[in-house]
Structure 1
Amino acid sequence: MLDDIAREGVARPWLEREVRAGGRLMGFGHRIYKTRDPRADALKAAVERLREMPAIAERLAFAEQVETEALAVLRREKPGRTLDTNVEFFTALLLEAAGFPPEAFTCLFATGRVVGWIAHAREQREGGRLIRPQSRYVGPIESIAA
């Protein structure tokens, strides 16, 4: 998302267009946390420690500008919902700083969730009740068959 916004050069119009088209802003909103995700601050602090590196400082400053604009757009466009910064917003910056390519981010985000998914599967098996989360796949269709 940050790369797309940077290419366009102006955050607010990009963010408004995305939200009005029904898209999601990556790194904002959370199923459980209805306030700012407390993990986001921990990850932001980790990225802050890298601010002495010029490329990281520049990227973090840009991300902070996008965060401010995104929160303003979300409050205006989604007044009935509390959509605040979540852990993925700053995790992406940390992964980028560590040298991971953006195409690896989804797999890395998922890796951190595997233990929780396994715990849910065990609970379902032990309880005899299938839990069906209310999720909607928005990726490319060809990925489903692969």
Structure 2
Amino acid sequence: MFEPRGAHAFDYCLHEGTPTRMQFHFADSMAMPVAVQTWELDPGGHEGMHSHDPDAMALEEFYLVLEGTARMQVGAEHHQLRAGDSVLAPAGVEHDLRNTGDGVLRVLVVWGEPGHKDFSSFGSLAAARAARGRNP
């Protein structure tokens, strides 16, 4: 399957934030239990402070900045982000993403319910653990 950049993109307001140009990649076509989206926020745009209640539908969210600069608050922590930086927002923790640059902020966002998958048979996990100073 192939989906070009911008295919089926739409404008959407998240969590009382500003309008976000969004592409929900392979909506209804992917078997993995996650949502994969790209977002484009205009300068000054923001997602809106929110959390995902663990007692309702607990969601963990991964953000990877593709283009631009941003500030992200996750709980009491504040992060200044640029292309290549990533942040994980655990379920139940308040968070907000804000475009701090002069151009469009492009972000890859992957979200889903927390769980565990054993990737220990993959050499890339052992290499990632070693890069973090952990035992493979």
Structure in which a larger fraction of residues adopt strand: 2
TM-score w.r.t. the length of structure 1 is 0.23
TM-score w.r.t. the length of structure 2 is 0.24
Structure in which a larger fraction of residues adopt helix: 1
